[in-house]
């Protein structure tokens, strides 16, 4: 007699329970990995790689900072890259087209002696004028604070607005890498995360060899996976060797900074998605940072957790500073995430934070939105999906919130450059 499905599941459960825990967990990991791979191939067939949608002429004009009519004139005059033309003569532009138009318009403005206008089109930093690489760590050690979601949206916003951006996934769980289309256990073979550039042995390699292009023009990625955790294990050994006089290499807190310095000429901003704990990786990221964004979910338990995070961070960074680390941030800001404006207790907590920290709390908050979570179901962000995929009011509310937060961060970056 055939077993029922319920009996089969029960027997499978008993069988799983009798297996050693490591084997049972490994089996679950393999099964989940296979399903994630199949899902990716369905979503991004036939190449199984993510691509970025094209932008309407209106969207492109807004991103560049010109009118749609002016963009049409450029197209008719044959200036700059030509858009794809669809039904009804509708024009669409890729992000690389938009960036090429920015360069074209900036060159025209410079030829007329209007440097300010050129900079409004092409926002790259001017190293000769002392505009330093801006390294922003997005951090908190409380899960669910929106750290990775904030990191990816900041990075993509800055790329969309014409900056050269490097996103660094420093979290062994590699959620940021997943949002960029990578499945770490399948797409990374070893020594291809930031650990490859900051490790202590002879297998260390240049960061430029690890960086990967993404489907976002102007946005590159240093992916993450579980090998990052090795830094937490090898650093105590390196510190011990240094204490015994057998290792004269850079201290752990200087290694991320040195790796980023090796590619500084290629970027304006680096966004680091830190792991959700205070280990050597997070401390190294903070020491490499010029600025820090701390994500906070406005619930009392989260705020209490953040309090402990701040105490621990302060204690550990003071030790690093005494050892010679430089800790001078251009800005430190608290970003309220998953905010529900109509939730009275949340509004009270935000008010409480503003009374304590003043302008160190970003004026804008990232509102909780089904649009963000719905986009995440297909490993996408709100900047990747079109407005037509959502209820307009829901999309507009979410994108307005995102742009307000990220625009505020962009303003802080430019202020740090003295603009």
**pLDDT for 248-264, tens place per residue?**
578 888 999 999 999 99
Joined tokens for residue 41: 């191939």
Residue 220: beta bridge partners? 166, 213
The pLDDT, as a whole number, for residue 85 is 85
The pLDDT, as a whole number, for residue 19 is 67
Q: Which residues of the chain have pLDDT under 50?
A: 1-16, 45-47
By DSSP bridging, strand 91-93 and strand 55-56 are antiparallel
Distances (CA, A) of 28 to 21, 22, 35, 228: 11, 10, 11, 22
Do residues 168 and 270 touch, judged by C-beta distance below 8 A? yes
The pLDDT, as a whole number, for residue 249 is 72
The phi and psi torsions of 221 (rounded to 5 degrees) equal -135, 135
Q: Give per-residue pLDDT as tens, 154-174.
A: 999 999 999 999 999 999 999
- CB-CB neighbours of 33 under 10 Å: 14
pTM of the model: 0.86
Q: Quick one: which of 279, 87, 103 has its CA closest to 95?
A: 103
- CB-CB neighbours of 24 under 10 Å: 14
């Amino acid at each position: 007699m055939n077993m029922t499905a319920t009996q089969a599941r029960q027997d499978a459960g008993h069988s799983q329970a009798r297996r050693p825990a490591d084997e049972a967990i490994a089996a679950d990991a393999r099964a989940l990995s296979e399903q994630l791979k199949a899902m990716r191939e369905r979503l991004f067939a036939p190449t199984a790689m993510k691509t970025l949608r094209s932008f309407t002429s209106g969207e492109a004009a807004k991103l560049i900072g010109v009118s749609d009519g002016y963009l049409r004139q450029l197209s008719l005059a044959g200036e700059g890259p030509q858009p794809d033309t669809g039904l009804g003569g509708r024009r669409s532009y890729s992000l690389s087209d938009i960036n090429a138009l920015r360069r074209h318009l900036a060159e025209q403005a410079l030829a007329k002696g209007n440097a300010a206008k050129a900079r409004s089109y092409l926002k790259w930093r001017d190293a000769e004028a002392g505009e330093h690489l801006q390294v922003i760590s997005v951090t908190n050690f409380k899960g669910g604070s929106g750290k990775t979601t904030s990191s990816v949206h900041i990075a993509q916003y800055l790329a969309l607005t014409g900056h050269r951006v490097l996103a660094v996934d420093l979290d062994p769980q590699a959620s940021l890498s997943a949002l960029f289309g990578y499945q770490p256990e399948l797409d990374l073979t070893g020594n291809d995360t930031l650990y490859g550039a900051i490790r202590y042995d002879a297998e260390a390699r240049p960061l430029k060899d690890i960086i990967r292009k993404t489907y976002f023009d102007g946005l590159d990625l240093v992916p993450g996976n579980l090998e990052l955790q090795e830094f937490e294990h090898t650093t105590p050994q390196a510190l011990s060797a240094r204490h015994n006089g057998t290792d004269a290499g850079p201290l752990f807190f200087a290694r991320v900074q040195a790796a980023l310095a090796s590619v500084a000429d290629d970027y304006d901003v680096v966004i680091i998605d830190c792991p959700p704990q205070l280990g050597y990786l997070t401390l190294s990221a903070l020491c490499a940072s010029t600025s820090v964004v701390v994500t906070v979910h406005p619930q009392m338990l989260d705020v209490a957790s953040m309090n402990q995070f701040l105490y621990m961070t302060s204690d550990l960074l003071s030790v690093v500073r005494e050892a010679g680390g430089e800790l001078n941030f251009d800005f430190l800001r608290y970003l309220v995430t998953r905010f529900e404006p109509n939730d009275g207790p949340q509004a009270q907590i935000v008010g409480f934070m503003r009374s304590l920290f003043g302008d160190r709390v970003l004026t804008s908050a990232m509102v909780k939105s089904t649009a963000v979570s719905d986009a995440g179901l297909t490993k996408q962000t709100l900047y990747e999906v079109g407005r037509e995929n959502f209820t307009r009011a829901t999309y507009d509310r979410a994108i307005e919130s995102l742009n307000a937060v990220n625009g505020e961060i962009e303003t802080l970056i430019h202020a740090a450059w003295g603009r």
